[in-house]
Structure 1
Amino acid sequence: MSIKRVCIFFIAFLMIAATVFPTMSFADGAYLMSYFRSGVNQTDVQPKLHYAVSRDGKYWFALNANNPVWTPVIGSGILRDPFLNKWPDGKWHLVFTTGCCGGAGIGHAESTNLISWGTGEKLHLMQNFSDVFNMWAPEWTYDSSTGNYRIYWSSTRNSSSANNNKHYSATTTDWNTFSNASLLFDPGYSAIDANIAAYGGNYNMFFKDESPIFDGDPNTNGARMRQASSTSLGGPYGNISGFITPMDTEAPTVFKLQGQNKWLMLYDYWSQGKFGIKESTNIANPGAWSAEFAAGSFRFPYQVRHASVSDVSESEYWNVVNEYSRVAYFKMDGTSGSTVTDSSGDNNHATLDGATWTTAGKINGALNFDGTNDYVLLADNSSNTGFMHNGFDVRSVSLWFKADNTNQSQVLYEQGGSAAGMALKIESGSLKFAVREGSLQQTVSTPYTDTTNWHHAVAVFNNGSLRLFLDGELKQFANAAFSSVSAHSDYASLGARRGQDAFGGSGNGAYFDGKLDEVRVFSVPFTIEDVLSIYNE
């Protein structure tokens, strides 16, 4: 092959890689999104706290299967417009809208672990005003010049509807006592959804101009975002810009990418049920924002509304991921009996058949499989719903294995069958990963022949893309011709095939000869950072 052809092939390979796996830059940590859910034009509203995580700020994956992670007791259980940030003592404070109208309070809750939020409380921060119709979209920022924490929100006064919102604020040092509320920002028209980011010695406020909703002026081209600035967090804010986002957008959240001189702005097309993203290296300059990212270059959870973004440490990231998206965790640390305990908290315990307990695991104990008739049953074939039977568009499987031979076909993990499923096996000197949907199958593989050492394998399916990692390295990836795997009623097992598998094999067999340890299943797609975190435990 000529050098020219090699170069063309290599460039094409890189273009495919960039399409399947976008280039990402990471620091020691990640991002947590908090949001509530609704459909187009605020239909199908689910006003509870939801979480999503991201390693790059662009591709977001819902935790807890996009179900609520917390519901407050106050305000009839309503939580909209959530915003959370961390106090210097490590405690997280969440503020939120408790309802539409007619109240003069905002919701507040605190947590040390992003999981336990208590019952919540209502903060009546506008008590020094008697004519308050609403308190919407609260946020808070630490003021380093005063040592206070400034909470800000939008309210309409002297009206029977939320038609003239201005931004008010109050301060606190302990979340127990608060100053009187005062006017923070009045641009001369109705405005909501302030988000404030410090940059270059100034405070930059991003907000929604709502005047087109009320004045009917066709020249304003729809309600959307502007920005203003101040040298003080408490204002006054001036230098109001022109529009910086497309028509009919709201709820901006601006955050700096970790380890980069780059900022992202996320915003909500609430009436269309979608989100947009822009980026900038100078958020003080309204003209420095990029064009909106093209479709396909970002991902948001289904029905996400009014999101806020927080930096989280690596340990905080794993705390929420393990709590809300670890489907199963088999430590293999038992010593006797036929139950393989699921330590995820979901009680998806498995049943041992023939395999034996051993203390010679990668981490403490393990299970030893004889290559003849041993296996662990994860799920039987009696249902097409529930653990290992539900359909999915995202899945990550992590496990440690030590093979005693690599010649015969040996299933390490399998769920589903020849119509819908996912499987990982050793065969003919290779480690192989397959996903199947109907008559379509996609397989990736990497050479594997070692029978001496423990090795770490991770199989990732992400909306149609497959990734196979071995010992902390991405070995092969590919795109399938399908983006999800359907529900099924087939078996799921470790160490053997029961019935059929995603490789197209049928009949009980493909028994593994070796040891398995630390098997984990997640409903989020692992990045290389996730893989390395587990590999280096």
Structure 2
Amino acid sequence: MKPIFGLMCLMIGYLCSCTPNTSKENPERDNRNVYLMSYFKGNGDGLHLAYSRDGLQWEALCKDAVILEPQIGKDKLMRDPSIVQDDAGTFHMVWTTGWWDQGIGYASSKDLKNWSEQHNIPVMEKYEGARNAWAPELFYDGKDKTFYIFWASTIPGAFPELPTSESEKGLNHRQYYVTTKDFKTFSETKLFFEPGFSVIDGAILQKDNTYYLFVKNENSAPPEKNIRVTSHDKPFDFPTNVSAPITGDYWAEGPAPLIVDDYVYVYFDKYTDRKYGAVRSQDMKNWEDVSDAVSFPKGIRHGTTFAVSEAILEGLQ
């Protein structure tokens, strides 16, 4: 019986060695069970990161030190850092480089610690008189392997002027976008979202087969300063009939959506209160304010949230 048993073992070993490898291209990305938040502090000091395992308690990484300092732009700022990971595991980031720049910043990384050279993407340079390019946001559509970059800009006279407060400096924002597959060539800049009010701070969340766009109503006279949402079956051409505010009786900006178990959380900057808050929903219609249940690093400002593997977190720690 021993020779037969040995032959069986050899056959089993051969079959196992010949079994096709059905693992995904990047198994680490498919086992993302830790949540990260990118953010900046002050006027735009650089990239900071925090992590959470439950979506409620967020702890600063790297002793809350700046992980990447800004090197480009008129003001050399790094505000509103937006990060996504592609199918190959590379992280891509865009950010606001200055208050009155016509371009945005871009860099990439494999581990969120070591970053590529920083580049300027001149997204609004062809629009004469464009005053700014604020809060660029990245969304990666895995269906067609395309990155969407969208941001807020004011082009004087492009839209019916709205009454603005003195502090708004006459800004009347709409959102614009480009697409890319490699961050080397980009589509022509086009209008992304025009809801009939001044709009900034867009963020897209894909849930099942629906894309949700969260935006800030930036109207100032009378003031709105709240977060609203609309949805579509593709990540562009969103309907402009947005929801009622999903945030409360405070000024909010910088929505950062994240799926945590059965909930969709939307984190945001309560910038006049110098606090961070959150709402959550299970049906994308009814929103519960959980600001009192969340905690964040002190001084956190507008960023994004995304899931990573345990290996990425361990590298950062």
TM-score range, shorter chain: 0.7 to 0.9
One-letter amino acid matched to 2:60: A
Distance in 2 (CA, whole Å) between partners of 1:180 and 1:245 is 34
Question: Given the superposition, is the C-alpha separation of residues 236 and 61 from structure 1 closer, same or farther in structure 2, using an over 3 Å criterion?
Answer: closer
Match of 1:267 in 2: 268
CA contact under 8 A between 1:133 and 1:161: conserved in structure 2? no
CA positional deviation for 1:62:
1.1
One-letter amino acid matched to 1:275: Y
Q: Which SS does the other structure have where 2:45 is aligned?
A: strand
Deviations 1:196-239 (CA, angstroms, capped at 9, x unpaired) = 1112422111111011x2x2x2xx5x411111122221213233
Distance in 1 (CA, whole Å) between partners of 2:143 and 2:105 is 26
CA contact under 8 A between 1:156 and 1:162: conserved in structure 2? no
Deviations 1:112-148 (CA, angstroms, capped at 9, x unpaired) = 1110113311101223322211101111212345432
Map 1:442-461 → 2, pairs under 5 A: none
Deviations 1:481-532 (CA, angstroms, capped at 9, x unpaired) = xxxxxxxxxxxxxxxxxxxxxxxxxxxxxxxxxxxxxxxxxxxxxxxxxxxx
Q: Tell whether 2:183 aligns with 1:170.
A: no
Match of 1:304 in 2: 300
Map 1:63-82 → 2, pairs under 5 A: 63-75=61-73, 76-82=75-81
Instruction: Find the partner of 2:131 among 130, 133, 156.
Output: 133
CA contact under 8 A between 2:85 and 2:92: conserved in structure 1? yes
Deviations 1:162-200 (CA, angstroms, capped at 9, x unpaired) = 611101010111100001100010111101000111124
Q: Which SS does the other structure have where 1:88 is aligned?
A: coil
Give me the TM-score of the superposition, normalised by structure 2.
Answer: 0.82
CA positional deviation for 1:73:
1.4
One-letter amino acid matched to 2:138: W
CA positional deviation for 1:251:
0.5
Distance in 2 (CA, whole Å) between partners of 1:153 and 1:111 is 22
Deviations 1:330-376 (CA, angstroms, capped at 9, x unpaired) = xxxxxxxxxxxxxxxxxxxxxxxxxxxxxxxxxxxxxxxxxxxxxxx
Q: Which SS does the other structure have where 1:196 is aligned?
A: strand
Match of 1:476 in 2: none
Larger radius of gyration: 1
Match of 1:36 in 2: 40
CA contact under 8 A between 1:155 and 1:162: conserved in structure 2? no
Deviations 1:281-312 (CA, angstroms, capped at 9, x unpaired) = 122x2xx111x2252x2210010000211101
One-letter amino acid matched to 1:310: F
Deviations 1:12-58 (CA, angstroms, capped at 9, x unpaired) = xxxxxxxxxxxxxxx862111110113xxxxxx35211111111111
CA contact under 8 A between 1:48 and 1:71: conserved in structure 2? yes
Match of 1:280 in 2: 281
Question: Any unmatched runs of 5+ in structure 1?
Answer: 1-26, 39-44, 322-537
CA contact under 8 A between 1:128 and 1:180: conserved in structure 2? no
Match of 2:204 in 1: 196
One-letter amino acid matched to 1:267: F
CA contact under 8 A between 1:59 and 1:300: conserved in structure 2? yes
Match of 1:255 in 2: 258
Distance in 2 (CA, whole Å) between partners of 1:206 and 1:50 is 23
One-letter amino acid matched to 2:290: F
Map 1:25-424 → 2, pairs under 5 A: 29-38=33-42, 45-75=43-73, 76-101=75-100, 103-158=101-156, 161=169, 163-211=171-219, 213=220, 215=221, 217=222, 222-246=224-248, 247-257=250-260, 260-283=261-284, 285=285, 288-290=286-288, 292-293=289-290, 295=292, 297-321=293-317
Distance in 2 (CA, whole Å) between partners of 1:316 and 1:183 is 36
Question: Given the superposition, is the C-alpha separation of residues 69 and 294 from structure 1 closer, same or farther in structure 2, using an over 3 Å criterion?
Answer: closer
Q: Which SS does the other structure have where 1:48 is aligned?
A: coil
Aligned-pair identity in percent equals: 32
Question: Given the superposition, is the C-alpha separation of residues 294 and 137 from structure 1 closer, same or farther in structure 2, using an over 3 Å criterion?
Answer: closer
Distance in 2 (CA, whole Å) between partners of 1:147 and 1:89 is 11
Deviations 1:65-85 (CA, angstroms, capped at 9, x unpaired) = 222111021124310000101
